[in-house]
Amino acid sequence: MSESPQPYRVLARKYRPQSFAELIGQDAMVTTLGNAIKRDRLAHAFLLTGVRGVGKTSTARLIAKALNCIGADGQSGPTIAPCGVCEPCIAIAEGRHIDVVEMDAASHTGVDDVREIIEAVRYAAVSARYKVYIIDEVHMLSKNAFNALLKTLEEPPPHVKFLFATTEVNKVPVTVLSRCQRFDLRRITADMLATHFAKIVRAEGVEAEPEALALVARAAEGSARDGLSILDQAIAHADMEGSHGVTAQQVREMLGLSDRGAVRRLFGHMVGGDAVATLKALRDQHDLGVEPVAILRALLETVHGVTLAKVGGSDDPALSAEEREALQDWSSRLSYAALHRLWQLLLKGHDEVVRASLPIEAAEMALLRVIHAAQLPDPGELIKKLSNGEAVATPVQQGAASGQPSPPPPSQTLPADMPALVALLETGGRHRLAQILHDDIGLIRLEPPVLDIRLLRPQSSEVVRDLAVELKALTGAAWEVNCLDGPAAPSLKQQDEAREDRARAAIMATPIVKAAFETFPGSEMDWERTELRSAQA
């Protein structure tokens, strides 16, 4: 009678690490644990945290094996390299060891579940060196359950070890964290995952393009389990296609990634300002079934890749030689300012497409906005244009709005208006009086040598007398300065501020500045660096 075939096991389970040597990407943690075991400085509780699929539960089981391994000869003690052949190692690997208890806190959240553990820890291990409790997703325990566990967690019997795993360590009470030795498992790099996947496909007897494995590794986002699940699907996809191997094109189709060649063409049309070609390339991708948000994401990745190429970043293993050449070419032609602007515009467009009820239309509008912005000067160039007066469409009319009555024809020897009076005082070294006359005095009448003024702010009683004395000293004429309460023109300072406001309004109303603010929402004009020529006319 023939034996029934073994049921298929997914790659994520089949290639679960059985030793610390097989655990990828967590070298620092393995070193710490190894040193602790060698020096017999083992904590009574460990907390393992990290994103999904980086090996938290697998590490907990490996620690349980390391603590309870007796070696092939049955005489060995705790070791960072468990033999895998002794009874404790085999039983723990198969999940049937009576002294290694795994509990899923997501489905056992209450205080009663924890109370069972508290009651059981009083009893010695049946056959193992240590009784080990592995609690997965420990952050799901209720507040009462955590509180019930605290005393036992702080002072457990010497034969008990607690191993906690969680993806959300911020939800674990500080009182629990302080009683555990914490290990943060890092995301696994794409290069390391791609190398790991290459070993697995060889073991499975499957051919796979390096680029395909790099795409799978990138899609895994640092999670070995996610990557193996995607690889499982990619192998099945290749089989259904009647192929003998996994190709990059098949992986892109499976993951819904847009064709990189098409993305490069679209990016080239966009940065070249060709609106018609850009919209056609976008629609072609959409007609092939690529989601608009995926296209925007691919364009963002392209901008990121060009920027990295410009700063000399490391090459992405998922990129072909053709892609690297294209990125280098764009990096030589696009400035940092243009790349940062592209990133911001595409990021804004991506967010709009995610929320839009008409995604493809939103994507078209976003790319058209990018093309329109490409024809505008960058903010630095815009500031230069404003400083040179090039961006001001219409001159600001001045003088009439000041409210100042028309001065009489200037005298040959005496200043005929307020600016001339201020200039006379400044030239003569009377800076304090010049400042007061400019900032705080409104003109009622000026018929040299008669000056009628109104104080717009309280001043010393000596100001009027000092003005008369100093003007006589500077002009040789006997000035009559009167401080009255009648209607007066604004001070010269107020007039200057009014002209600047009108100049700013005129600049903000010009088409180029309006377009700049529509293109860069939330931007502000740097008025300190913008010369308001019209205000100084």
Over residues 280-297, the mean pLDDT reads 88
Strand, coil or helix: what is 120?
helix
Q: Which helix (H) or strand (E) holds 300?
A: helix 292-311
Residue 36 has pLDDT above 80, yes or no: yes
Assigned domain for 522 exists: no
Phi, psi torsion values for 213, nearest 5 degrees:
-65, -35
- The pLDDT score that the predictor gives to residue 534 is 42
- The pLDDT score that the predictor gives to residue 21 is 85
Residue 532 has pLDDT above 70, yes or no: no
Residue 428 — left, alpha, or beta (φ > 0 → left; ψ -120 to 50 → alpha)? alpha
Q: Residue 197: how many CB atoms within 10 A of its CB?
A: 27
Tell me the CATH number at 226: 1.10.8.60
- The pLDDT score that the predictor gives to residue 134 is 92
- The pLDDT score that the predictor gives to residue 406 is 40
Residue 107: name the closest of 141, 83, 130, 145 by CA: 141
Residue 258 has pLDDT above 80, yes or no: no
**Last-in-domain residue among 184, 199, 227:** 184
Nearest-angstrom CA–CA distance, 89 and 62: 9
Assigned domain for 396 exists: no
Over residues 165-173, the mean pLDDT reads 90
Nearest-angstrom CA–CA distance, 479 and 136: 94
Question: Scanning the structure block, which residue is given the tokens 């070294």?
Answer: 429
> Lowest mean pLDDT: which of 8-22, 389-403, 468-482, 485-499?
389-403
Say if residue 16 is in the same domain as residue 34.
Answer: yes
Nearest-angstrom CA–CA distance, 84 and 98: 17
- The pLDDT score that the predictor gives to residue 382 is 59
Nearest-angstrom CA–CA distance, 224 and 197: 9
Say if residue 25 is in the same domain as residue 166.
Answer: yes
Q: What value does the mean pLDDT of the chain take?
A: 82
Over residues 259-270, the mean pLDDT reads 84
Whole-model pTM: value is 0.58
pLDDT tens by residue, 410-428: 444 688 889 988 988 888 8
> Lowest mean pLDDT: which of 123-132, 174-183, 273-282, 458-467?
458-467
Residue 133 has pLDDT above 90, yes or no: yes
Tell me the CATH number at 305: 1.20.272.10
Assigned domain for 113 exists: yes
- The pLDDT score that the predictor gives to residue 381 is 62
Say if residue 335 is in the same domain as residue 421.
Answer: no
pLDDT: is 521 or 233 the higher one? 233
Phi, psi torsion values for 110, nearest 5 degrees:
-90, 170
Nearest-angstrom CA–CA distance, 404 and 491: 9
Assigned domain for 386 exists: no
What's CA 417's distance to the chain center, in Å?
Answer: 58
Say if residue 269 is in the same domain as residue 216.
Answer: no
Say if residue 40 is in the same domain as residue 157.
Answer: yes
pLDDT: is 163 or 386 the higher one? 163
- The set of long-range contacts for 232-237, using a CB threshold of 8 Å and a minimum separation of 24, is 232/10, 232/11, 232/12, 234/208, 235/201, 235/204, 235/206
- The pLDDT score that the predictor gives to residue 300 is 92
Tell me the CATH number at 146: 3.40.50.300
- The pLDDT score that the predictor gives to residue 241 is 52
Assigned domain for 534 exists: no
Say if residue 169 is in the same domain as residue 302.
Answer: no
Assigned domain for 502 exists: no
Say if residue 229 is in the same domain as residue 325.
Answer: no
pLDDT tens by residue, 212-251: 888 888 888 888 888 899 898 888 877 655 556 888 888 8
**Last-in-domain residue among 158, 184, 210:** 184
Say if residue 297 is in the same domain as residue 347.
Answer: yes
Say if residue 35 is in the same domain as residue 179.
Answer: yes
**Last-in-domain residue among 184, 203, 224:** 184
- The pLDDT score that the predictor gives to residue 272 is 86
- The pLDDT score that the predictor gives to residue 259 is 66
- The pLDDT score that the predictor gives to residue 316 is 63
* DSSP secondary structure string for all residues of 340-375: HHHHHHHHHHHHHHHH-SSHHHHHHHHHHHHHHHHT
Say if residue 24 is in the same domain as residue 117.
Answer: yes
Assigned domain for 134 exists: yes
What share of the chain in percent tops pLDDT 90?
A: 15
Over residues 82-99, the mean pLDDT reads 89
State the Rg of the chain over Cα: 39
Nearest-angstrom CA–CA distance, 468 and 477: 10
Bridge partner residues of 104 (DSSP): 136
- The pLDDT score that the predictor gives to residue 361 is 92
Nearest-angstrom CA–CA distance, 122 and 115: 12
Overall number of domains in the chain:
4
Tokens standing for residue 282: 């976008």
pLDDT: is 336 or 313 the higher one? 336
> Lowest mean pLDDT: which of 9-13, 114-118, 434-438?
9-13
How would you list the strands of the sheet with 181-184, edge to edge?
100-104, 131-136, 160-166, 45-49, 181-184
pLDDT tens by residue, 336-385: 888 888 999 999 999 999 998 999 999 999 999 998 876 665 555 656 65
Residue 224: name the closest of 63, 22, 82 by CA: 22
- The pLDDT score that the predictor gives to residue 3 is 53
Over residues 192-204, the mean pLDDT reads 90
Can you give the residue range of the structural domain that contains 446?
Answer: 404-489
Residue 152 has pLDDT above 70, yes or no: yes
Tell me the CATH number at 444: 3.30.300
Assigned domain for 304 exists: yes
